[in-house]
Amino acid sequence: MALKRGALVAFANWPVALIQAAADALFKVLIAAPLVGGIILTTLVIGADIDERAPDWRVLLTQVVSSLLQHRIVLIAFVLSVTIVVIGGSLFVFLIKSGTMGVLVRGERQGPAVENDPLQFKSLALVSSFSIELFVDSARALFRRYAHLGFVLMAVYVLSAAAFMGVLLWETPVSESFGYTTLVTAVFVLWVTLVNLVYLLIQIVIAADDCSVASAARRVTVFVRQEKQVLGGIFVVVLAMMALATAASVIAFTGLSLILLIPFVWLAAIPLQLAAFLLRALVFQYIDITSIAAYLGLYRAHSNRLAADGVSGVTVPAWPPPADLTNS
């Protein structure tokens, strides 16, 4: 029922899915720009001998890195460009996520029990809360805290990646075996997945309770401890949905790639690929927003129970302010 409500809230506030998809695509383009620039620096400015016929992108990447390591000034410029783009793009993503959370918090909070009643447009209209004003106000209210939390996440990513590479490069009797590498990689992926889940829950609590990052982290600890079974169920279902969507997109792009081998016919595949990219981005964003709305509903019920039990310091938050339903 939590996922059903989350899906309906996400559908009723569909503009945030478009905004999230556009922001995600822009972030990827920004990241790609300095990477392409690094290859241009290596091949043109440095004049390095790069084998363009390299069959594996990893071979090409190794050649680029080795060439940059021989020219420290160019390497420093390349690293600075990537760092600036990552920080600026991340701040932009944090800003968009702040507005998205504010919209979803209001929509989930003010909506009736649409998951229990027959599906009607009137009830979905009550769940819909998107407006430019609310999105901007939410972005202003939450951006600083989301940026703080986001940089903490980036630090955790860097430390985790360093630990992962250190474990892989640490010479042991079994370090060169395939099973060892697979196990370490699986543990790393699981760790990153759990970190992302905790990060998302803290974001949700910050928006739902209008509290600080530290206070949200403490409340998430209580929330997870008391609702771990339902949280685990939602997490597994969402993960399965992501896996199925990824498999479907891989199959679709593989089929379209085969068309590119046919002379002249490949022109018809270009708009199909663009449509597939757009559909893939929207589907993944819809699943993401569905999970957020589901967690929001679960946390709201959790907070209401604590407030009804008279737990110290727990109140039903009043932010964001409710919409004027009579004028909606």
Return the percentage of the chain with pLDDT > 90, whole number: 12
Can you tell me the mean pLDDT for 286-300?
A: 89
pLDDT per residue as tens digits for the range 154-190: 999 989 988 888 877 776 665 566 677 788 888 888 8
17-26, 56-65, 213-222, 255-264: lowest mean pLDDT where?
56-65
pLDDT per residue as tens digits for the range 225-273: 888 888 888 889 988 988 888 888 778 777 766 666 666 666 666 677 7
Residue 21 clears pLDDT 70, i.e. is over it: yes
Residue 60 clears pLDDT 70, i.e. is over it: no
pLDDT band at 202 (very low <50, low <70, confident <90, very high): very high
Q: pLDDT higher for 201 or 325?
A: 201
Pair of tokens at residue 103? 């919209």
Pair of tokens at residue 139? 């972005």
Residue 59 clears pLDDT 80, i.e. is over it: no
**Mean pLDDT for the chain?**
79
Can you tell me the mean pLDDT for 58-78?
A: 69
Residue 322 clears pLDDT 60, i.e. is over it: no
Residue 27 clears pLDDT 70, i.e. is over it: yes
pLDDT for the residue numbered 64:
65
pLDDT band at 203 (very low <50, low <70, confident <90, very high): very high
pLDDT for the residue numbered 328:
39
pLDDT per residue as tens digits for the range 126-142: 778 888 988 999 889 89
pLDDT for the residue numbered 316:
46
